[in-house]
């Protein structure tokens, strides 16, 4: 076996909305890369993992066909490409977990002056979209007869060109729609970036590295909002204080003297001033909240 077959290949969007977030997340997992001259592959310096920089649309099939072991891509792309892959026996990858970036929604939007009371108003209309697969499924599920028109980009100009009555496109802030005098009228799906893994079994060595990377990714995601909280409290208030600690499992309790204890806990949610005030009212003192840098369960 060639040595490079032992290296993990992770497909990441080459240039677009997911690129910086993906690279930043991998960097925070401790991965270091050198970018090659052709900029298609970034070679991992400190772990046997290389990045393939590709168009996001290609990521589901690269992982499904086992050309890459892992990929980072939006659920919208996975679902849309799932249609094409279904024809070839189905997508052969699993979504491992969501990565909490690339949040957007696929929504139907109408020109501002179009009255819209509900999705039945889509009946017999023409809808422009780059997401023909997802839209067709949505229309079928809702028993709506409508014509879909494929636009590879700039979908929002279709109504102005007289090509469609509605559009179905990705929205995050809605500013692109507003600039084209369109308003979102119905959400078809919510999406965020996810990490996917091929279903093809990996060699033991490779799987161990994949597990290690996934564990680090999970750790990075968990610490984002996590805080380490320390406080002193009367032993009698311990139960109430434990209940007030947001998103924390069993706190560590250290006796200070007969009546008082120190409590240390990781809170997996942000700790707001209000929480601290409530803890103080319950008897806590010397409260300290610290950011968590790394966490390994």
Q: Which residues bind ligand ATP (CB under 6 A)?
A: 13, 16-18, 55-57, 74, 76-77, 102, 104, 170, 172, 191
191 binds, among Zn ion, ligand ATP, none (CB under 5 to 8 A by kind): ligand ATP
User: For 100-169, where are the alpha helices, taking DSSP H only?
Assistant: 132-141
**Residue 56 or 165 with smaller CB distance to ligand ATP:** 56
Tokens linked to 1: 């076996």
Q: What are the backbone dihedrals phi and psi of residue 246, each rounded to the nearest 5 degrees, phi first?
A: -70, 125
Contact 179, 60 (CB under 8 A): no
Cβ(8)–Cβ(48) below 8 Å: yes
CB of 104 to ligand ATP, least distance (A): 3
- C-beta of 4 vs 172, nearer to ligand ATP: 172
Closer residue to Zn ion in complex, CB, 60/251: 60
Kindly state the smallest distance separating residue 67's Cβ from Zn ion, in Å: 18
The neighbour count for residue 272, using CB atoms within 10 Å, is 11
What distances in angstroms separate CA 73 from CA 200, 248, 273, one per listed residue? 19, 31, 36
Min. distance of Cβ 16 from Zn ion in angstroms?
A: 7
Q: CA dihedral in degrees (192, 198, 203, 206; nearest 10)?
A: -20
Report, in Å, the least distance between residue 88 CB and ligand ATP: 20
Residue 149 φ/ψ, nearest 5 degrees: -120, 125
Q: Which does residue 159 bind out of Zn ion, ligand ATP, none, counting CB within 5 to 8 angstroms by kind?
A: none
156 belongs to the binding site for Zn ion (CB under 5 A) = no
Closest contact distance (angstroms) between CB of 235 and ligand ATP is: 49
Residue 259 in the binding site for Zn ion (CB under 5 A): no
- Return the one option of Zn ion, ligand ATP, none that residue 248 interacts with (CB less than 5 to 8 A, by type): none
Per CB under 5 A, the segment of 51-59, 164-172, 240-248, 275-283 that binds Zn ion is 51-59
Residue with tokens 């072991």: 69
Residue 57 binds Zn ion, judged by CB under 5 A: yes
The maximal CA–CA distance of the chain, rounded, in angstroms, is 79
Of residues 193, 210, 198, the one with CA closest to residue 73: 193
Out of 33, 44, 54, 56, point to the residue binding Zn ion (CB under 5 A): 56
Other CB atoms within a 10 A radius of the CB of residue 22 amount to 26
68/223 with CB nearer ligand ATP:
68
**Which secondary-structure segment (H or E) carries 244?**
helix 238-244
Q: Is 58 in the site for Zn ion (CB under 5 A)?
A: no
Instruction: Compute the least distance from the CB of residue 134 to ligand ATP, in Å.
Output: 12
Output 56 or 69, the one with its CB closest to ligand ATP: 56
Taking the least distance from each CB to ligand ATP, the nearer of 173 and 204 is 173
Q: Please, what is the minimum distance in Å from the beta carbon of residue 17 to ligand ATP?
A: 4
The three-state DSSP-derived secondary structure of 196-223 is: EEECCCCCHHHHHHHHHHHHHHHHHHHH
Q: In the complex with ligand ATP, which residue's Cβ is closer, 100 or 207? A: 100
Q: In degrees rounded to 5, what are phi and psi of residue 221?
A: -65, -40
């Amino acid at each position: 076996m060639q040595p490079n077959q032992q290296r993990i290949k992770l497909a990441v969007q080459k240039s677009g909305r997911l690129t910086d977030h993906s690279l930043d997340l991998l960097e925070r997992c401790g991965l270091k890369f050198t970018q090659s001259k052709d900029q298609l592959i970034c070679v991992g310096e400190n772990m046997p993992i290389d990045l393939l920089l590709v168009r996001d649309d290609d990521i589901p099939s690269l992982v499904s066909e086992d050309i890459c072991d892992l990929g980072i891509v939006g659920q919208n792309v996975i679902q849309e490409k799932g249609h094409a892959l279904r024809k070839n026996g189905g997508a052969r990858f699993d979504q491992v977990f969501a990565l909490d970036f690339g949040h957007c929604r696929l929504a139907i939007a109408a020109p501002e002056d179009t009255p819209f009371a509900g999705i039945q108003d889509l009946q017999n209309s023409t809808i422009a979209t780059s997401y023909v697969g997802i839209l067709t499924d949505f229309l079928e599920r809702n028993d709506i007869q409508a014509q879909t028109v494929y636009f590879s980009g700039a979908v929002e100009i279709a109504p102005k060109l007289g090509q469609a009555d509605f559009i179905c496109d990705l929205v995050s802030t809605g500013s692109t729609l507003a600039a084209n005098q369109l308003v979102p009228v119905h959400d078809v799906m919510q999406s965020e970036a996810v990490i996917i893994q091929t279903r093809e079994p990996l060699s033991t060595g490779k799987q161990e590295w994949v597990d290690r990377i996934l564990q680090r990714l999970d750790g990075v995601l968990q610490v984002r909002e996590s805080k380490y909280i320390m406080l002193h409290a009367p032993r009698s208030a311990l139960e109430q204080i434990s209940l007030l600690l947001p998103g924390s499992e069993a706190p560590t309790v250290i006796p200070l003297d007969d009546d008082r204890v120190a409590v240390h806990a990781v809170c997996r949610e942000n700790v707001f001033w209000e929480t601290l005030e409530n803890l103080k009212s319950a008897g806590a003192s010397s409260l300290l909240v610290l950011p968590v840098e790394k966490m390994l369960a």
